[in-house]
Amino acid sequence: MRRRRTKVTWMTLLILLAGILITYFDPQRQLVNAARVEEIGSQQATPGYCTHVADGDTAVLRQGTHSVRVRLGGIDAPEKDQSYGDQSKAELERLIGGKQVYLVETDQDKYGRTVGVLFIRDGHSYRNVNLAMLEAGAAWHYVQYSLGSAYAEAEQRAQAARRGLWAEPSPTAPWDYRHQR
């Protein structure tokens, strides 16, 4: 009886360990966990290639045979004709232009664009492009459509380091710029 109990215990431990290892080494799990910036949840990431960067917060991805226009969620980049608009677009292009990206959809905006979080493979992990834009000072944290405190913290670090648009004496938020026009 004791031998059978030991065997069952070892089998249970092996199954548990196998489950943990499979979960740990599954790249899809890593991507979804990287996507969780508090409220995103567990949507599946969809691979695609960036074919066009429209501005600092909008890109076109080719996914199979169709294209998807994606608005980066949780951030708002300067408009094209606004101060730092060209640099913001250039930063997004540097990050994802012509590269394979992974999209976690979070919403759809009033213009029909897919809203989401983009990731690029960075070695064995994934890098959140939306956060990278904030870290570089190439976009504002769009508090109205916030995806979590990590976004606010990334913007604060860029401000403190006076990176990107935060090096300007008094940068104008894109939502204020659009309202003034």
Residue 112, phi then psi, degrees to nearest 5? 85, 5
> Would residue 168 show up in a list of annotated catalytic residues for this protein?
no
Query: 69, 113, 121, 127: which is the annotated catalytic residue?
Result: 113
Strand 100-108, strand 75-76: pairing? unpaired
- CB of 25 closer than 8 Å to CB of 18: no
As a whole number of angstroms, the distance between CA 147 and CA 142 comes to 9
Beta bridge partners of 102: 47, 119
Taking alpha carbons only, the member of 90, 103, 34, 89 closest to residue 57 is: 89
> Would residue 79 show up in a list of annotated catalytic residues for this protein?
yes
- How many other C-beta atoms are found inside a 10 Å radius of the C-beta of residue 71? 22
What three-state secondary structure class fits 87?
Answer: helix
- How many other C-beta atoms are found inside a 10 Å radius of the C-beta of residue 119? 26
What three-state secondary structure class fits 143?
Answer: helix
Residue with tokens 């012509």: 98
> Would residue 163 show up in a list of annotated catalytic residues for this protein?
no
What amino acid positions are annotated as catalytic residues?
Answer: 71, 79, 113
